[in-house]
Amino acid sequence: MTLSRYLVALGHGTRKEAERIVRQRRVTTAAGAVLRDTDAYVHHDVFVDGAPLDAPPGSVILLNKPVGYVCSLNDRPPMIYELLPANFPKRTPVMASIGRLDADTSGLLLVTDDGALNHLLASPKSHVPKRYAMTLAEALRGDESDVLASGTLMLKGETSPLLPAAFTATGERTADITISEGRYHQVRRMMAAIGNHVHTLQRVAIGPLALGDVAVGRWRLLGATEIHTLREAALAAKAGAKAEAKPPATA
């Protein structure tokens, strides 16, 4: 990508504005050499006014979303963008969350400008497993894991049963669940469907990626290997679901 396109992509204004900051000698390498050619391809770190640019195009950010923040522009603020670098909403393509978490749900949220990866992970055909930890209003009965693993449970107002989910009790009123779909308010509605109520819900993993020790409200950039592993896991989950959906071959 050329220097001017790179600056525009990372939210440094229009092409003209990007060209102006280059002319003003404000764009440098990490070592401080002034970059003058807006048409030159970028193969190195770029600094503006002495500060490194935000995450380069194709980045994936792992945010530990706090309760109370919304992912969608259509919802009532505060938005997750308040927790991210100020340039993010101005970037082209936009840095968007991969799927959503409810305002009341905390934990692992991925944000990227990689539209293909976003689609791969967030489309209804994506069956990459997502793990949640929850606290519940009612004590567990003991039959939850069988009911949720059955593949027959229906959510209110829906016409197709839920895919099997792996439910593990971790205490009298606490549990982990792994689901491989992304229906609206899915975990809360699943627990309501079996007569309980979710008090707190935190996403702790997506495929091979765990929340780890990222503090609430903070984020980190995923490394190239993590992105590769995530993409591979999503592709494998999609291929597995497709194979299962195929009717068995007749002899």
Of 19, 102, 176, 181, the one binding ligand URA by CB under 6 A: 102
**Residue 180 or 186: which CB sits closer to ligand URA?**
186
Give yes or no for residue 101 binding ligand URA (CB under 6 A). Answer: yes
Q: Answer yes or no: 102 catalytic.
A: yes
How far apart are alpha carbons 71 and 101 in whole angstroms? Answer: 7
Which spans in 113-159 are helix H? 115-122, 144-149
Task: From residue 131, give the alpha-carbon distance in Å to each of 1, 104, 146.
Answer: 37, 16, 17
Secondary structure class of 136 (helix, strand, coil):
strand
Give yes or no for residue 181 binding ligand URA (CB under 6 A). Answer: no
Quick note: the x/- pattern for ligand URA over 132-171, rule CB under 6 A, is ----------------------------------------
DSSP string of 43-69?
-S--EETTEE-SS-TT-EEEEEEPTT-
CB of 103 to ligand URA, least distance (A): 9
The closest of 103, 102, 95, 61 to 78, measured between CA atoms, is: 103
Residue position matching structure tokens 């006014």: 49
Copy the structure tokens of residue 87: 């340039």
Give yes or no for residue 188 binding ligand URA (CB under 6 A). Answer: yes
How far apart are alpha carbons 224 and 230 in whole angstroms? Answer: 10
**Residue 21 or 192: which CB sits closer to ligand URA?**
192
The one catalytic residue among 37, 102, 114, 143: 102
Give yes or no for residue 131 binding ligand URA (CB under 6 A). Answer: no
| Amino acid sitting at position 29 | T
Give yes or no for residue 187 binding ligand URA (CB under 6 A). Answer: yes
CB of 215 to ligand URA, least distance (A): 20
- From the list 8-16, 72-80, 100-108, 121-129, the region that binds ligand URA by CB under 6 A is 100-108
Of 38, 105, 196, 202, the one binding ligand URA by CB under 6 A: 105
The size of the interface with ligand URA (CB under 6 A), counted in residues, is: 8
The closest of 110, 121, 131, 129 to 63, measured between CA atoms, is: 110
Q: Which residues have a catalytic role annotated?
A: 102
What residues make contact with ligand URA under the rule CB under 6 A?
A: 101-102, 105, 185-188, 201
